[in-house]
Amino acid sequence: MKKGRMALWLAGLCCLVVVAGPARAELTLAAVFGSGMVLQRGAPMPVWGEAAPGEAITVTLLGATATGKAAADGTWRVDLPALEAGGPYELRVAGGPDGGGGQLLTNVWVGDVWLVAGGATVDMYANNVPGG
């Protein structure tokens, strides 16, 4: 009797997996992108993330649109054209055949991005930089 129950349980589990089908990967942006960010001016701007394999991706910022498709491993990348400094703007990322899903980032600025490392040994303030 236990053998019969086990077979029935496994058959039920298999049916559940077949009916549920594969899960659709959610369209996401890499963690470096978010509302309130600054993108470098005067240079092409790469935007990347993950989605369902083969999903069409559209990224829009200030009327500039870049499109691409998620690779077999679900990763995607598009490059927005160079823009001049300004903001705040909205960056829209949409996916799928109907452009549904996706994300909207607000308060996005285009300007100069500075990367400073050194922690306590960094002894320079922006107002000490010419033009700062």
Q: Are 29 and 103 in contact (CB under 8 A)?
A: yes
| pLDDT range class, residue 110, cuts 50, 70, 90 | very high
Helix, strand, or coil (residue 45): strand
Q: What is the mean pLDDT of residues 97-102?
A: 71
Of 65 and 129, which is predicted with more confidence?
65
The helix/strand/coil state of 59 is strand
Tokens of 29: 């942006």
Q: In whole numbers, what is the pLDDT of the chain averaged over residues? A: 82
Say how far apart CA 29 and CA 94 lie, in whole Å: 11
Residue type, 46: P
18 phi/psi in degrees, rounded to 5: -65, -45
> For residue 70, what pLDDT is reported?
96
State the pTM of this model. 0.71
Please write the tens of the pLDDT for every residue from 8-53. Answer: 555 554 444 434 434 456 899 999 999 999 999 999 999 999 999 9
Q: Do residues 81 and 47 make contact, with C-beta atoms less than 8 angstroms apart?
A: no
pLDDT band for position 102 (cuts 50, 70, 90): confident
Place of tokens 């109907």: 98
Amino acid at 55: E
In this structure, which amino acid lies at residue 85?
A
Pairing of strands 28-29, 56-61: unpaired
Which runs of consecutive H residues, i.e. helices, occur in the chain?
Answer: 2-20
Q: Structure tokens of 113? A: 């991005």
Structure tokens at 41: 């001016």
Q: Please count the residues of the chain.
A: 132
